[in-house]
Chain A
């Protein structure tokens, strides 16, 4: 059973760069589409981007100028980097994967989420 665990700073200040890592256990990260999704408090889900082993990442156009995703199969991890954060970036950040290997399938495995709070 593949499990995901996010790790991140928790609290940070505006203008800093957010770095999150998703550690994958119980299976290989290869052949899976890896996602970052966030959810501001009391609001809905927002897709940030996806990455696939050996492929180029795809980002939400609204965040594209500030987002970088990477994947490290040797460590079974994938990461998110978001620059110049503001209070609007405060949210629970989820890493998730589609384990079927087809990017149009449902996102079937989710991490528990990590809360990020940005203060001014």
Chain B
């Protein structure tokens, strides 16, 4: 049971827009801590995709965007491409644990 809740899977056709939700609680996302998103391909290390709710590191396409409101955050991927098929994880800080917490991950399938 992960501290942050994500849907196990989402899917979409090429060109479509999909969103992945991430819901926490009053000790993490609801306490105002930022949410970060990671993309992970099979057999590879996670890669920072969105930081501090809505910022993209250099090199990340603007098709990826993030937002946060209250205890929930969302990752949106527009203009879906086959190469976007991967696992996506959200992460935040939890003041009760004094450490990082992750969502359980969402597998994105491009139909």
Binding site for B on A (CB under 8 A): 35, 37, 44-47, 49-50, 58-61, 94, 96, 103-108, 110-113
Which chain A positions have C-beta within 8 A of B102? 44-47
- Smallest CB separation, B91 vs chain A (Å): 7
- Among B45-64, those with CB < 8 Å from A are 45-48, 50-52, 57
B36 at the interface (CB under 8 A from A): yes
Using a CB–CB cutoff of 8 Å, the interface residues on chain B facing chain A are: 2, 33-34, 36, 38, 44-48, 50-52, 57, 89, 91, 93, 97-105
B32 CB to nearest A CB, Å:
10
Cβ–Cβ contact B48 & A50, under 8 A: no
| A94 proximity list for chain B (CB < 8 A) | 45-46
Q: B101 → chain A, closest Cβ, in Å? A: 7
Q: Contacting A106 at CB < 8 Å: which of B45, B51, B99, B105?
A: B51
Could you show 16 A-B contacts with beta carbons less than 8 Å apart? A35-B100, A44-B102, A45-B46, A45-B91, A47-B101, A47-B102, A50-B99, A94-B46, A105-B34, A105-B51, A106-B34, A106-B36, A106-B52, A108-B57, A110-B45, A112-B45
